[in-house]
Structures are given as structure tokens and as C-alpha cells.
Amino acid sequence: MGSVLLLKIGGIYNILCALLHVIFPKMFRWDKIMKLLPDDKRLILEPSLHIMNWCMAVFLGNTCVHFTCAYLRAINAGPGKNAAYFDRNILGYPHLHASALVHRD
């Protein structure tokens, strides 16, 4: 498989994981499960669970941004294309040279 296809698959996978984390509370019925816990344990566990879940969703969303940048760089680094322009002007890395990052077979 080509690197561009793998980047597309990875980006879609991360988007699906982020969306899945958003619907976890309803999918696993956290509200009903939390009611079964004693009050002292629920006061600690419920906010922690939601915070960890949203942190994971934000992390996966951030990963999607990185996959998008890597994908755009990959399609701009092909033969005859100027990846250095993409690095300097789109990503904002003036010191980055495309020749150091492009994998040569």
C-alpha cells in the first residue's frame, strides 16, 4: 500500500475513534451504571470518567489534524512537487527542508 492510502486510513480510523469516545456515555449507559455505585465512590468516579473520555476524544481529534498535515505533505512531496513550499508556507516551518524528511526508496 502507498503511504497516502495509509495516511487516509489512519485519519479515518482516528476520526471514528474520536466520535466513538463522544458517544461512549450513551452507548454504555454510564448514567445507569453510576447510579448503582455508592455516593462517595460515584462523586470521584463519574467526573474522572467523563474527563478522561473527553481528553481521549481531544487527543484523537488532535491526531486527526496531524494525519491531515502528513497526508497533505505526502501528496505535495511527490515527484516534481515542491514539499519545501508546503513546509515553509502552509505548516509554518521556515527552517524545515523537505529533503531531510522525504523518504527516498
pLDDT tens column, 27-52: 989 889 889 999 999 999 889 988 98
- Taken in order 91, 97, 98, 100, the sign of the CA dihedral is negative
The count of domains in the chain is 1
Cα–Cα distances (Å) from 10 to 3, 15, 64, 68, in that order, read 10, 9, 8, 10
The parent domain of residue 81 ranges over 3-101
* Confidence (pTM): 0.59
Per-residue pLDDT at 38: 93
53: cell is: 473520555
